[in-house]
Amino acid sequence: MNHVPAFGVGTFRLQGQVVVDSVRKALEVGYRAIDTAQIYGNEAEVGQAIREAAIPREQLFITTKIWVENLSSSKLIPSLQDSLRKLGTEQVDLTLIHWPAFQNVTLEEAMTALAEAKALGLTRLIGVSNFNIDLTQQAIAAVGKSEIATNQIELSPYLQNPKLVSFLQSQQIDVTSYMTLAYGKVLGEPVIAQIAQKHQATPAQVALAWALQRGFAVIPSSTKRENLASNLLAQNLQLTDSEMAEMARLERNGREVNPEGLAPLWD
């Protein structure tokens, strides 16, 4: 599998037993892709949930992300090895550069170290996160287009990022959408509620189905088993062309995540 699975479970902001329970429930209801990051401080708990679920490792797709302090050639591989120890696996499926904040490190050095981690078998695929078009082009120049499995970016019906999305799709780089529900804000959107009613679906399912139909991978998180199970059903929901057009009109550049000192200049 050289592509990112279309549906995974996110673990951002989940800590301790909460993340153990969330990931375990997700695996029980059918998720097989799990997204974590060094900075989330929960890799060990994600690893614990995976062990407790006792699902064969080859059926899982585990993603982690390298934090900005670990992007130098001397730190990236040791930091990933530390992540692997916490996760209890010899290899993750995907490793991303979390934010393009290169403190005393060039983008080329970080990408080269990431490619080396792949060559060493520490990760099956590599990619980037929160990169704009210019930075993605630099990453391609550093390691080659075929090496970059995905760019994980904030996308929701309120933030559709058309320039960046069409650039990535033109380069055959998978788009992974995080914050697809915009911290729950899109769940109160009347247009989405109307579409949901027509399909006897939930607003969350409609927003996730929209992203899937745009060709994005999604990684929603929840601590509730019923929401985790319900979100998965978005894969069975087919929106009509006119509904997709209605969703397209919801764009309002509604960015939720834009940390100073980490985020690039967005396209």
* Dihedral angle sign, alpha carbons of residues 116, 121, 125, 129: negative
- Which residues lie below 8 Å from residue 184, measured CB to CB, with a gap of 6+? none
**pLDDT tens digit sequence for 199-244:** 999 999 999 999 999 999 999 999 999 999 999 999 999 999 999 9
Q: Is the pLDDT of residue 176 over 90?
A: yes
Q: Is the pLDDT of residue 1 over 60?
A: no
pTM value is 0.97
Q: Nearest 5°: phi and psi at 161?
A: 45, 50
Indicate which residue of 40, 158, 178, 183 is catalytic: 40
Average pLDDT over residues 134-151: 98
* Dihedral angle sign, alpha carbons of residues 107, 113, 116, 122: negative
Query: What are the strands of the beta sheet with 148-154, ordered from one edge?
Result: 9-10, 33-35, 61-66, 92-97, 123-129, 148-154, 174-178, 217-218
Is 40 considered catalytic here? yes
> What pLDDT does 88 receive?
98
Task: Categorize the per-residue pLDDT at 3 as very low, low, confident or very high, splitting at 50, 70 and 90.
Answer: confident
**pLDDT tens digit sequence for 49-67:** 999 999 999 999 999 999 9
Specify the 3-state DSSP secondary structure of 170. helix
